[in-house]
């Protein structure tokens, strides 16, 4: 006799889920992880922004000093006249023209310009004051050969002022001044100026003047803090040998500094706590350089 055995169905296994406590612990751990990651990201961003800000200020300061220095180092320079007219006339019958004396172009009369230009005199036009800042100049040569080749090559000027302009007159002039937080440059013509750098906190200029009268035979160099000091001396501008330029720039990124932090500006130490407006909580860097004028040492005499 066959017996059928009925197997009892298996009881399904009970699935165990996550308890509320475990879920809350997981959420808390996740939030802490996100918070730590966000904190690290903010710190990294702050450091990156500060480094980028410092780099941009350095680039602007270097560029401004390069532009100013390029013009000031040429101030007072004259054209080298390879064959002076007087020497050429005196040696017209001489076959050895290559032995003719070479001299700098004589420019002593401001009215003796070229093509009706008012001219340029080294003793009075090498350096001066305009629009609240220094203006420097040097003789412009419009007879330089621009191309090579057969025939008559065109001539013109290969010098340029701080704007990159090539003047057609007797002088190349560049005027530097501060306006609305921007260091601007121009040629001295009305409304003819453009900004060089922005975020300028200070632009300070001092003039180094040569003195040969106090101690004859022993020239001395004295600092003049302003244009008024220079102009108070007879032929003062002609006695300026060099110019000290100080430029104070600030950045765009807000930074947190300990209380009482200071930096050295153009006029001396400055406390960060005293800065307001666009300069508040901003990095400040100061650039200072001395540029010697090429036409220095005239001591008031006209070349």
pLDDT at position 143: 66
State residue 149's pLDDT score. Answer: 62
pLDDT of 17: 65
User: What's the order of all strands across the beta sheet hosting 182-186?
Assistant: 127-130, 133-139, 171-179, 182-186, 193-197
Between 111 and 191, residue with greater pLDDT: 191
Query: Greater confidence, 202 or 111?
Result: 202
pLDDT for res 67:
94
- Tell me the three state secondary structure of residue 182: strand
* pTM for the model: 0.74
Q: Is 139 exposed, middle or buried (0-12, 13-18, 19+ CB in 10 A)?
A: buried
8 A C-beta contact, residue 293 and residue 241: yes
pLDDT tier at 116, thresholds 50, 70, 90 = very low
The winner for highest mean pLDDT among 34-38, 98-102, 216-220, 226-230 is 226-230
Q: Which two tokens stand for residue 20?
A: 């509320």
Task: Quote the pLDDT of residue 103.
Answer: 63
Give backbone dihedrals phi and psi of 196, rounded to 5 degrees, phi first.
-95, -55
∠ CA 225-227-228, nearest 5°, is 95
The CA-based angle 194-197-201, given to 5 degrees, is 120
| pLDDT interval class at 134 (50, 70, 90) | very high
| Percent of the chain at pLDDT exceeding 90 | 33
- pLDDT reading at 105 higher than 90: no
pLDDT of residue 271: 94
- CA-to-CA distance for 68 and 183, rounded, in angstroms? 11
Of 174, 290, 293, the C-alpha closest to 239 is: 293
* pLDDT band of 113, cuts 50, 70, 90: very low
Pairing mode of beta strands 155-156, 193-197: unpaired
Which of 39-53, 203-217, 263-277 is predicted with the least confidence, judged by mean pLDDT? 39-53
Range in 93-102, 144-153, 281-290 with the lowest mean pLDDT: 93-102
Q: How far is the C-alpha of 287 from the C-alpha of 266, rounded, in Å?
A: 8
User: What's the pLDDT band for 302 if we cut at 50, 70, 90?
Assistant: very low
Supply the pLDDT for residue 255.
85
pLDDT surpasses 50 at 112: no
Candidates 249, 251, 291, 272; CA nearest to 67 is: 291
pLDDT at 300: 45
């Amino acid at each position: 006799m066959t017996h059928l055995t009925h197997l009892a169905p298996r009881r399904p296994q009970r699935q165990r889920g996550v308890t509320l406590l475990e879920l809350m612990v997981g959420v808390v751990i996740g939030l802490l992880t996100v918070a730590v990651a966000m904190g690290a990201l903010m710190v990294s961003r702050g450091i990156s922004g500060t480094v980028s800000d410092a780099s941009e200020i350095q680039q602007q300061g270097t560029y401004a000093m390069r532009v100013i220095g390029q013009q000031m180092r040429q101030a007072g320079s004259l054209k080298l006249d390879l064959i002076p007219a007087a020497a050429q006339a005196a040696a017209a019958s001489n076959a050895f023209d290559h032995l003719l004396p070479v001299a700098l172009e004589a420019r002593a009369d401001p009215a003796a310009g070229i093509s009706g230009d008012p001219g340029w005199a080294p003793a009075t036009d090498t350096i001066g004051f305009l629009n609240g800042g220094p203006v420097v100049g040097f003789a412009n040569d419009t007879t330089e050969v621009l191309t090579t080749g057969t025939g008559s090559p065109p001539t013109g000027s290969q010098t340029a002022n701080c704007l990159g302009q090539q003047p057609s007159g007797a002088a190349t002039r560049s005027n530097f001044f501060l306006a609305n937080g921007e260091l601007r440059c121009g040629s001295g013509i009305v409304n003819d100026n453009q900004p060089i750098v922005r975020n300028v906190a200070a632009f300070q200029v001092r003039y180094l003047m040569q003195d040969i009268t106090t101690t004859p035979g022993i020239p001395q160099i004295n600092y003049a803090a302003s244009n008024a000091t220079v102009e108070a001396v007879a032929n003062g501008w002609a006695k300026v040998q060099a110019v000290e330029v100080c430029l104070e720039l600030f950045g765009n990124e807000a930074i947190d500094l300990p209380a009482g932090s200071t930096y050295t500006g153009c006029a001396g130490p400055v406390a960060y706590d005293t800065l307001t407006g666009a300069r508040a909580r901003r990095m400040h860097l100061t650039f200072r350089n001395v540029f010697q004028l090429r036409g220095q040492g005239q001591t008031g005499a006209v070349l």
